[in-house]
Amino acid sequence: MDISKGMAKAGEMGVKIRYLGIFLVVLGGLSIWAPQVTGKTLAVVIGILLILGGIGRTIFSWIAPSWGSAILRAAVGVLTVVAGIYILMQPSVGSKALAIVLMIYLLPTASRHFSWH
């Protein structure tokens, strides 16, 4: 009895995963078809995440071991919120900036993996 219930749940989950896969393929096709919209949408999502992360960083800055560290953490949190708001206000500039930041981040990372040790 328990095995049949488990198989039924797995079957239901398989259908959900199949629909998720179809949705992601369609989303990927739309991303290829309209890269500008995709870049702006990604910039908006990252802007929202920056705002939420900055708020969290600012709220939890009081956990720092010293006042100087707490003030620095709070300042970084506020700066993160400001960056998120700027990206939300200017998504086209934000998407270009994200491309540059990712390039600066990924080049050293990739070169570290391809370097001869």
Where does the pLDDT of residue 69 fall: very low under 50, low under 70, confident under 90, or very high at 90 and above? confident
d(Cα 25, Cα 67) in Å, to the nearest integer?
A: 50
Q: Which residues contact 52 (CB under 8 A, 6 or more apart)?
A: 84
Least confident of 24-33, 42-51, 71-80, 88-97: 88-97
Distances (CA, A) of 51 to 33, 57, 116: 29, 10, 40
Domain boundaries, the chain: 1-33, 34-117
pLDDT tens readout for residues 88-111: 998 888 788 888 887 887 787 777
Q: Above 90 in pLDDT, residue 39?
A: no
